[in-house]
Amino acid sequence: MTENKKENGKNDAGKEAVLPLKSDFSEWFNSILDIGQIMDVRYPVKGLYVWHPFGFGIRKRVYGIIRDVMDNSGHEETLFPLLIPETEFMKEADHIKGFEDEVFWVTHGGVTPLDVRLALRPTSETAIYPMYQLWIRSHADLPLKLYQVVNTFRHETKHTRPLIRLREITSFKEAHTVHATWEDAKNQVDEAVGLYADIYRKLSVPVLISKRPDWDKFPGGDYTIALDTIMPDGKTLQIGTVHHLGTNFAKTYGIMYENAAGEQEYANQTCYGISERSIASLISVHGDDKGLVLPPAVAPVQAVVIPVLFKETAESVMTACENVVKTLKKAGIRVEMDAGDMRPGAKYYKWELKGSCLRIEIGPRDLEKKSAVLVRRDKGEKQFVSLDTILETVNAELKQMADDLYAAAEEKMKAMIAPCETAEEVKTQLGKGVAVLSWCGCKECGMKIEEETGGSILGTPDRPAEVKKGQCAGCGNEADQIIRVSKMY
């Protein structure tokens, strides 16, 4: 196994922890969750994991951003029950088909069997919409835009993975909106896609936006737009979905409103969700061989101050460091002092692993020049900065780092996408990333392409074509669409 030969603290199992190189992505991901203190995977139920406080600190900030974006775009936060009666859950035929294999059921109260079994929500349409039926009366009640951040349960049969495929999704942000017309709901879908793109821009994570093929849309919906990112191993991760539900659920749950002419009409709905995959994506896209690289907006530690201590000058150096910490803290920067007696090299390693955005070192020689050494986590280069303007420098570097992380990640992602024509070309490309093909739009050709290449169809891009339209990769006929194909997580 390829490894970094640097020592570190212990991992969750109490063993000496060594981070594998990121080129060994799957090993790297599992290790970083452990020695980076994000999740403990030893909980004795498959697909359920425990947040370490450090990981939870990232989660808190990511969900702070998500909540801000929702609150600032006319959504209101709410909270619905976890348990859904079977009688409500079983009303929408397509929805049942899509989820019934994945539902956990509560069957007993104590030792007494329940009259009506209760589902642990796999998502909350069937909890929320019976209440919407009671709440919505007239067009004046519309649009209604609510969201909640909750845990949901899905008995996933595919390989479970922390942050990526969970049986208890701990951080499911789901929005459910109601509108008068199909057009209004479509506009909401477009707005939601924009909001999600904005959230991911704030996390410096580049996304591909694709309309999923009809056979892969949300069970019970009209169509689905997905946001995917490309992971370091070339596989894509779906990190958000927005669904147009049409009037399908409204008809099932009787959600009607009186229009301006006094007639009863079925409402049009949308729903959209993001999970802790958002955190999986930012860890995976930005991290490196040394550990976490965290966007400043979500890093629990944005700057660490390390005094370089020698007997004679220890006091003055400590005072200078304390002043820097005080100045930064006062300005709202998450800063830590590390005056412990580890070797400097061990300290650097520790804070690099933890993804501290900036490292500030002050030694006696720096102090003489009223300066400090500043190292940005993503660049790794030393620069000498004046102590007089340290706050301005830190603010500027943090801001620049967020932009640079995005630019670097976007460039990397673009290099992982390539136009392909033959099945052989696609197969080779799927080991590296996403293949883009011409497609006539029919399901048979879609299935054939998936079968021949071993990839999955992400769908059609929302943006101008990345390859010229040509012959369908399935049937060879004139094709008016292009599709993205990838290996999906």
Shortest reach from residue 270's CB to ligand 5CA, in Å: 9
When CB distances are held under 5 to 8 angstroms depending on the partner's kind, the choice from Zn ion, ligand 5CA, none that residue 250 binds is none
Shortest reach from residue 189's CB to ligand 5CA, in Å: 12
| Binding track over 200-229 against ligand 5CA, x by CB under 6 A | ------------------x-----------
> Whose Cβ is closer to ligand 5CA: residue 153's or residue 348's?
153
> How much is the CA Rg of the chain, to the nearest whole Å?
26
> Whose Cβ is closer to Zn ion: residue 303's or residue 483's?
483
Cβ atoms within 10 Å, residue 42: 10
Shortest reach from residue 100's CB to ligand 5CA, in Å: 14
> Whose Cβ is closer to ligand 5CA: residue 155's or residue 334's?
155
When CB distances are held under 5 to 8 angstroms depending on the partner's kind, the choice from ligand 5CA, Zn ion, none that residue 154 binds is ligand 5CA
Q: Contact between 272 and ligand 5CA (CB under 6 A)?
A: yes
Q: Contact between 475 and Zn ion (CB under 5 A)?
A: yes
Q: Contact between 273 and ligand 5CA (CB under 6 A)?
A: yes
How is residue 79 written in tokens? 């909270």
Shortest reach from residue 176's CB to Zn ion, in Å: 36
How is residue 200 written in tokens? 């991911």
Shortest reach from residue 430's CB to Zn ion, in Å: 19
Q: Contact between 485 and Zn ion (CB under 5 A)?
A: no
Burial 417-446 (b: 16+ CB within 10 A, else e): bbbbeebebbeebbeebbbbbbbbeeeebb
Cβ atoms within 10 Å, residue 93: 12
Closest residue to ligand 5CA using C-beta atoms:
273
Shortest reach from residue 246's CB to ligand 5CA, in Å: 14
Cβ atoms within 10 Å, residue 184: 16
How is residue 279 written in tokens? 């955190």
Count interface residues toward ligand 5CA (CB under 6 A): 19
Q: Contact between 169 and ligand 5CA (CB under 6 A)?
A: yes
Which helix (H) or strand (E) segment is 71 a member of? helix 53-71
Strand order in the sheet with 112-120: 83-85, 112-120, 105-109
Among 162, 240, 291, 363, binds ligand 5CA (CB under 6 A): 240
Which residues lie closer than 8 Å to 29 by C-beta, 6 or more apart? Answer: 280, 283, 284
365, 361, 363, 381: which is closest to 373 by C-alpha?
361
Q: Which of residues 73-102 bind ligand 5CA (CB under 6 A)?
A: none
Q: Are 184 and 59 in contact (CB under 8 A)?
A: no
When CB distances are held under 5 to 8 angstroms depending on the partner's kind, the choice from Zn ion, ligand 5CA, none that residue 475 binds is Zn ion
Q: Are 300 and 334 in contact (CB under 8 A)?
A: yes
Q: Are 243 and 217 in contact (CB under 8 A)?
A: yes
Q: Contact between 440 and Zn ion (CB under 5 A)?
A: yes
Which residues lie closer than 8 Å to 91 by C-beta, 6 or more apart? Answer: 126, 252, 253
What's the first-to-final CA gap in the chain, in angstroms? 23
Among 271, 385, 423, 449, binds ligand 5CA (CB under 6 A): 271
Q: Are 10 and 16 in contact (CB under 8 A)?
A: yes
Binding region for Zn ion (CB under 5 A): 440, 445, 472, 474-475
Binding region for ligand 5CA (CB under 6 A): 123, 125, 154, 156, 165-166, 169, 174, 218, 238-241, 243, 271-273, 275, 277
